[in-house]
Structure 1
Amino acid sequence: MMRYLPLLFMWALASVVLASGDVVFPKEVQRFIAKREGCDHFRGEIGENGDEKRQREVQANLKKLCTGTDRQLNALLKKYQGWPEIIERLSEFETDIEAQ
Structure 2
Amino acid sequence: MQANRRGRGSRLALLFAALVIQAASALPARAGDADWPRPVTKFIARSENCLHFAGEFGGDGSARDVAVNRRMDELRCNALPRDLKTLRKRYRNDPRISERLGAFDEDGMPADAGADD
TM-score range, shorter chain: 0.5 to 0.7
Specify the alignment match of 1:89 in structure 2: 100
1:80 positional shift:
0.9
Superposition TM-score, scaled by structure 2 size: 0.53
Equivalent-residue separation in structure 1 for 2:80 and 2:34 (angstroms)? 22
- After superposition, residues 1-100 of structure 1 pair within 5 angstroms as 24-47=35-58, 52-65=62-75, 66-96=77-107
Q: Which has the larger radius of gyration?
A: 2
Equivalent-residue separation in structure 2 for 1:67 and 1:51 (angstroms)? 19
RMSD: 2.4
1:84 positional shift:
2.2
Distance 1:61 1:28, change over 3 A: same
| Structure 2 unpaired stretches of 5+ | 1-32, 109-117
The runs of at least 4 aligned residues of structure 1 exceeding 3 Å deviation read: none
Amino acid aligned to 2:55: G
Q: Is the 8 A contact 1:77 1:87 kept in 2?
A: yes
Amino acid aligned to 1:53: A
Higher relative contact order (Cα pairs below 8 Å, separated by 6+ residues): 1
Q: Is the 8 A contact 1:80 1:86 kept in 2?
A: yes
Equivalent-residue separation in structure 2 for 1:23 and 1:56 (angstroms)? 34
- Tell me the percent identity: 39
Superposition TM-score, scaled by structure 1 size: 0.61
